Amino acid sequence: MTKLLNLSSGPQTRDRWTTPFIMYFVAASLVPAAAVGVVVNGLHSLWIILSSVGTAVLSEFLFDKICKKPDTWKDGSAVVTGLLLALSLSPSTPLYGPIIGAAFAIIVAKCCFGGLGKNFINPALAGRCFLLISFGKSMTLFEVDGVATATPVAELAAGKSVNITAMFLGTGGGVIGASIFALMLGGLVLWAMDIIHGQICFSVIIGFTLFMGFFGGHGFDPKFLLAHLCGGGVIMGAFYMATDYTTSPVSRLGQTVYGVLIGVLGALFRVAGSAADSFSYSIIIANLFTPLIETYIIPKPYAYRKSAIALQNGEPRLPFWKKIPKPVIVLVAITIVAGAALGGVYAMTKETIEEQKRLEKLASYKTVLPEAENFEPDEALDQLIADMAGENYGTDFGKVKINEAIVGKNAAGEVIGYGISVTSGDGYDGDVTLSVGISADDVVQGIAFTELTETPGMGMQAAEPEFYEQFSNKAVRFFKMLKGGGASTDDEIDGISGCTFTSNAVTNAVNAGLDFYHNVLKGGSFGE
């Protein structure tokens, strides 16, 4: 015979998309989520991503050479595996984590089973679960400015409230690829291009939502459901992990059953499991059920389908509205979903966010005036600040605004000081908002930040005691910031090295609070 058939395991080429095109397109769709993760979490996140991707590609390259196999490392699948693994890691993960995890994912979970199309579980998830089991402590450590914090999902599990808007945008903590907006944007584009199957990703989300609604303990409360959907890898798992061709069923009904299984298991682990985030395990378990699903759910041959029989009988073809290109529908859907999601999330969480801000502000007042038992507003004082109409305070402090001033009293009802909330718009990466506590005998008790989003490792040093404690227990009229250090008097402050913008913003905010105290509260205009 001169024409032999070459039989191989899936995935086979079935349309115009080649394997390299699909893989690199998937990698490109993850770039927005990766970019948000690096911007929010800092440079270490970029090193995690590069280490993971580089190790994944290098591992497949070396395996191909040692085993004398074709150079499959060029098809882009290793890039996708490394990128997905990196985005599912904490931004505080040591660099050995992505290196070991990516090597395990490629060599053990993929290449040892025959390479692309022959792995029985998702390689990226295999690498992540391997790290969770082997290096649990470092994998579950989440730090912000060197301080260990809980992920939003862990806070939900503890019954605490979370900022859903921050979770949706990817600024609320968690893994590197935590931006739900970026992940959904990339995922919907993949669906529009027919690269991933909508039956899987949407059935995952629906199954998860329904189970959480029935058994999560809060019913179908939109805030509760949105918080859980935006945390713990649900969206990344639904659009990028569960849709892996090799480990998911082929038939539409099988894909739907597979997706619902993942969603239900993920929600079950979320409700009854010991770990706050176990969505990775739900997908791996469903991967193991794929052969069983394929055995019992067999698609009908095309000739026996209703659409084919209708064409054979000369019945009318699809109506016009069904002929609208899928990408057009998806792009419209992306716009609607993004707008509705942002608007809806803001509307539903506005009151909660405002209450959190109020509590944070009260906590900051207690920090800067520890001897006060109560903090009470004063109508005359509130009116004075309202008359400023949000304008900058004075001309010597830059873009500084006085937000609020509150009276601190002891248990006997005596005034012992004032807490003044001030915002400087001159920070390097945004506003700097802080509370200044000044006792009735003109001593600055201290400062406490309520909003500080400066560069991690640089401007965020303002939140470290070495800097902010310089303002404590000082009886001065104003402070002077020294760029080169060497402060020797009470009114001198050593600026943060290389962070002049942040240092100036904090110092000007404190000086504005001092000026407001001396010239307004004690200058005769207050209480007239």
Q: Greater confidence, 169 or 350?
A: 169
Are 404 and 415 part of one and the same domain?
A: yes
- Number of domains, the chain: 3
Are 116 and 245 part of one and the same domain?
A: no
Residue 354 CB neighbours (<10 A):
10
Q: 246 and 10 in contact (C-beta within 8 Å)?
A: yes
As a whole number, mean pLDDT of residues 79-85 equals 95
pLDDT of 78: 93
pTM: 0.59
Are 396 and 360 part of one and the same domain?
A: no
Q: What's the pLDDT tens digit per position in 269-304?
A: 888 876 656 788 899 999 988 888 888 887 766 555
Are 215 and 327 part of one and the same domain?
A: yes
Residue 437 token pair: 């506590």
Query: Would you place residue 487 in the very low, low, confident or very high pLDDT band (cuts 50, 70, 90)?
Result: confident
User: For residue 224, is it within any domain?
Assistant: yes
As a whole number, mean pLDDT of residues 424-448 equals 87
Q: Is the pLDDT of residue 306 over 80?
A: no
Q: Is the pLDDT of residue 202 over 90?
A: yes
What is the crossing angle of helices 43-66 and 96-103, to 10°?
A: 30
User: For residue 123, is it within any domain?
Assistant: yes
Are 261 and 392 part of one and the same domain?
A: no
Report H helices in 113-251. 123-134, 136-139, 152-157, 164-169, 180-192, 198-215, 222-229, 234-236
Are 349 and 207 part of one and the same domain?
A: yes
pLDDT of 410: 87
Which residues does 528 contact at the CB level (< 8 Å), separation at least 6?
380
Reduce the secondary structure of 373-428 to three states and give it as a string.
CEEECCHHHHHHHHHCCCCCCCCCCCCEEEEEEEEEECCCCCEEEEEEEEEECCCC
Q: What's the pLDDT tens digit per position in 204-222?
A: 999 999 999 888 888 888 8
Q: Greater confidence, 321 or 480?
A: 480
Task: In whole angstroms, give the CA distance from residue 437 to residue 364.
Answer: 9
Using only C-alpha atoms, what is the Rg of the chain?
29
Backbone phi, then psi, for 374, in 5-degree steps? Answer: -135, 150
Average pLDDT of the chain is 82
pLDDT of 527: 41
Domain residues for 133?
A: 17-149
Q: What's the pLDDT tens digit per position in 230-274?
A: 887 899 999 999 999 889 998 888 999 999 999 999 988 888 876
**DSSP conformational letter for 305:** S
Query: Would you place residue 427 in the very low, low, confident or very high pLDDT band (cuts 50, 70, 90)?
Result: confident
pLDDT of 398: 87
pLDDT of 145: 45
Q: 102 and 52 in contact (C-beta within 8 Å)?
A: yes
Query: Would you place residue 359 in the very low, low, confident or very high pLDDT band (cuts 50, 70, 90)?
Result: confident
Are 354 and 270 part of one and the same domain?
A: yes
Mark which of 149, 182, 214 sits at the end of a domain: 149
Query: Would you place residue 123 in the very low, low, confident or very high pLDDT band (cuts 50, 70, 90)?
Result: very high
Most confident segment among 231-245, 285-299, 360-374, 479-493:
231-245
Report how far Cα 466 is from the mean position of its chain's Cα atoms: 29
Q: Which residue has the tokens 């899987």?
A: 200
